[in-house]
Chain A
Amino acid sequence: DAKTTQPPSMDCAEGRAANLPCNHSTISGNEYVYWYRQIHSQGPQYIIHGLKNNETNEMASLIITEDRKSSTLILPHATLRDTAVYYCIVKPQTGANNLFFGTGTRLTVIP
């Protein structure tokens, strides 16, 4: 499975957009990019995923570069409740269902 690289921590002012980068330079053509977040001591929460195209849902937007070697998760208007560890995961379309979690990015939203 392709590895991902994320900054260990980021801060964001409340109400501003939070842009969380992820590098997955060894991603292959059949691998999805998934984003989950984990608020302290809770189970990871699914946010969004994509293959090639940019995606948007009620929680966030996912921007994947044309070469697919990196992506950015965008929380348009960060709130204090968005403070969490955000995980970027690459997962093949075929094969096993399990997720490989890295160390993620700890996002702190500052009032």
Chain B
Amino acid sequence: KAGVTQTPRYLIKTRGQQVTLSCSPISGHRSVSWYQQTPGQGLQFLFEYFSETQRNKGNFPGRFSGRQFSNSRSEMNVSTLELGDSALYLCASSLGSGGQETQYFGPGTRLLVL
């Protein structure tokens, strides 16, 4: 079974632009979670989508948004990019939503904001 895939793998943007990242979960998985990893803050939870609905949200500004499609694929969008948004963005999928589920991570998208 193929793992979680994320596109693109690398991205360079400038301040003020917006960016959309894509995540395809493991086949059959219906939950997709997004995380941001920076050297200063570590790995932080952004949000979770399940059945096209946002289930859970971390402590990030409204510039960070996401959505999930009927095939469980998910996108996250960051608007008005800031230098501090430079990070590794990770997507994780699980069969369902809830504490008993095991999340499996993709390789990440590395975003550099100049």
Instruction: Mark A residues whose CB is within 8 Å of B.
Output: 32, 34, 36, 41-46, 49, 87, 91-103
Chain B residues near A36 (CB, 8 Å)? 105
Instruction: Decide: A97 and B94 in contact? CB cutoff 8 A.
Output: yes
Instruction: Decide: A97 and B107 in contact? CB cutoff 8 A.
Output: no
The smallest beta-carbon distance between A47 and chain B, in angstroms, is: 10
Q: State the main secondary structure of chain A at its contact with B.
A: loop
Given contact pairs A43-B90, A96-B56, A98-B48, a sample of 7 additional A-B residue pairs in the complex whose CB atoms are under 8 Å apart: A44-B90, A49-B102, A96-B48, A97-B48, A97-B103, A101-B42, A102-B42
Instruction: Decide: B99 and A93 in contact? CB cutoff 8 A.
Output: yes
Instruction: Decide: A46 and B104 in contact? CB cutoff 8 A.
Output: yes
The yes or no answer to B61 lying at the interface (CB within 8 A) is: no
Contact of A97 (CB < 8 Å), options: B33, B42, B43, B88: B33
Instruction: Mark B residues whose CB is within 8 Å of A.
Output: 4, 31, 33, 35, 42-45, 48, 50, 55-56, 58, 88, 90, 92, 94, 97-108, 110
Chain A residues near B88 (CB, 8 Å)? 41
Chain A residues near B48 (CB, 8 Å)? 96-98
Instruction: Decide: A43 and B58 in contact? CB cutoff 8 A.
Output: no
Chain B residues near A102 (CB, 8 Å)? 42
When chains A and B are docked, how far (Å) is the Cα of A107 from the Cα of B89? 23
When chains A and B are docked, how far (Å) is the Cα of A42 from the Cα of B107? 5
* Most-contacted residue by chain B among A46, A94, A98, A100 (CB, 10 A): A98
The smallest beta-carbon distance between A35 and chain B, in angstroms, is: 11
Instruction: Decide: A96 and B99 in contact? CB cutoff 8 A.
Output: yes
Instruction: Decide: B107 and A92 in contact? CB cutoff 8 A.
Output: no
The smallest beta-carbon distance between B101 and chain A, in angstroms, is: 5
Chain A residues near B4 (CB, 8 Å)? 43
Instruction: Decide: A100 and B45 in contact? CB cutoff 8 A.
Output: yes
When chains A and B are docked, how far (Å) is the Cα of A95 from the Cα of B55? 10
Can you report 23 A-B residue pairs in the complex whose CB atoms are below 8 A from each other? Answer: A36-B105, A42-B107, A43-B90, A43-B105, A43-B107, A44-B43, A45-B105, A46-B105, A49-B102, A95-B98, A96-B48, A96-B56, A97-B33, A97-B55, A97-B56, A97-B101, A98-B45, A98-B56, A98-B58, A99-B33, A99-B35, A101-B42, A101-B43
